[in-house]
Structure 1
């Protein structure tokens, strides 16, 4: 009989990976069956050879642990649903707002593209390279950068002076300070949010023709000018 009781444990524990109605029904059924078998054994045990109560206690603890895990999974699922709904509501409120987000690629529209550069410290000479969607170098510039956030605007003109076609362009910065040490320069993009996609695990914002996850937003409002 003891072996029969022990055999119930694996089927009950197998439901700990997911939180579903079938899991709860299964653990309840197995627990009820376990108690029935336990009661029957206690009533019919041999007084000269009593059953091992420690084993029964351990099995009861295991069942209680599995049941608690199922309840915990249900609560976590509820919290995740509430959190996702809150994030979706927050993201929807950003439509029409100007935000600054992580990224080095933005759109050139009507001869203008802008990035926000954030230098760790002042740089007397920084090399700025702009490439098109195919990776071809379109323009290069050299300019000094101040410490902190500053706006960099490209007029869309390449090294030959010709106006580049509208599209997506990527900016790369190589910066050295007065001692020749490399300086870290973070690159961000700014733009108005036109739509929000809330179908995934995290809301995704559309800035021009680019998508950015909500977690990538660094600031809300106009970018810092410099």
Structure 2
């Protein structure tokens, strides 16, 4: 994944955990209340004020459970709405900050890279590494200030098609004095599908995935 799926997942999990805890508290409260009514001394009943307080606590607990159920419904509706929004990206090219793309088993590269330079460079060295950190390709890139696109054909420096997996691009730009120039790397690809993972909408770029909140640029 280009962007880690965290925010919506943690919210949904928290809501479910809270509902489960409240349900357990609710059942325990009812059991204690019933036991109290069964076992109180008719000649010395439970203090009315205390009993009323317990009933108020019971009512509050019941309302809190109902609120949590409605919250789960709202989260589900938001997830469905977000998925519908994701469908609008189908066929479009999206871009997100990141340096890793995927190559399928047949050698198909699911995305390209874009790197942005803080200023014009004298030289730009590009290095592609596999999941184990092994360098598979090295070369030079465009030196213009701003956005530069780099499309890889999925082949190593010897011209052999690489194995399927994740590959990372490293950009090292320097000026005429050899001073490093800042750079930011992005991945860019066409949306081929939309899915929902734990309530989070993910745009599919082949075997890659980008969450909606990670998108930094949209193109036709």
CA contact 2:126–2:172 (8 Å) conserved in 1: yes
Whose Rg is larger?
1
**Which whole-Å deviations, capped at 9, do the CAs of 1:4-62 have from their partners, x for residues lacking one?**
xxxxxxxxxxxx83269x8799599669959x949x98x8558xxx9372x33442332
- The offset of 1:173, in angstroms, is 1.5
Q: Distance in 1 between matches of 2:110 and 2:75?
A: 41
Q: Which residue in 2 is equivalent to 1:138? A: 137
Q: Distance in 2 between matches of 1:56 and 1:111?
A: 69
Q: Which residue in 1 is equivalent to 2:82? A: 87
- The offset of 1:158, in angstroms, is 5.9
SS in 2 for 1:188: strand
Q: Which residue in 1 is equivalent to 2:72? A: 77
Q: Distance in 2 between matches of 1:59 and 1:123?
A: 72
Aligned Cα RMSD in Å? 4.2
**Which whole-Å deviations, capped at 9, do the CAs of 1:139-197 have from their partners, x for residues lacking one?**
132653414x44234466765xx545266642112345688775543221111111222
Q: Which residue in 2 is equivalent to 1:7? A: none
Is residue 15 of structure 2 the alignment partner of residue 18 of structure 1?
A: no
The runs of 5 or more residues in structure 2 that have no matched partner are 1-16
Q: Which residue in 1 is equivalent to 2:62? A: 67
Q: Distance in 2 between matches of 1:74 and 1:25?
A: 14
Q: Which residue in 1 is equivalent to 2:172? A: 174
Q: Which residue in 2 is equivalent to 1:115? A: 113
Relative to the length of structure 1, the TM-score reads 0.62
Q: Which residue in 1 is equivalent to 2:93? A: 98
Is residue 166 of structure 2 the alignment partner of residue 165 of structure 1?
A: no
SS in 2 for 1:220: strand
CA contact 2:124–2:172 (8 Å) conserved in 1: yes
The runs of 5 or more residues in structure 1 that have no matched partner are 1-15
How many residues matched?
195
SS in 1 for 2:192: strand
The 3 A distance-change label for structure 1 pair 182 and 201 is: farther
The 3 A distance-change label for structure 1 pair 221 and 142 is: closer
User: Greater CA deviation, 105-114 or 69-78?
Assistant: 105-114
Relative to the length of structure 2, the TM-score reads 0.64
Q: Distance in 2 between matches of 1:194 and 1:177?
A: 39
Q: Distance in 2 between matches of 1:213 and 1:72?
A: 29
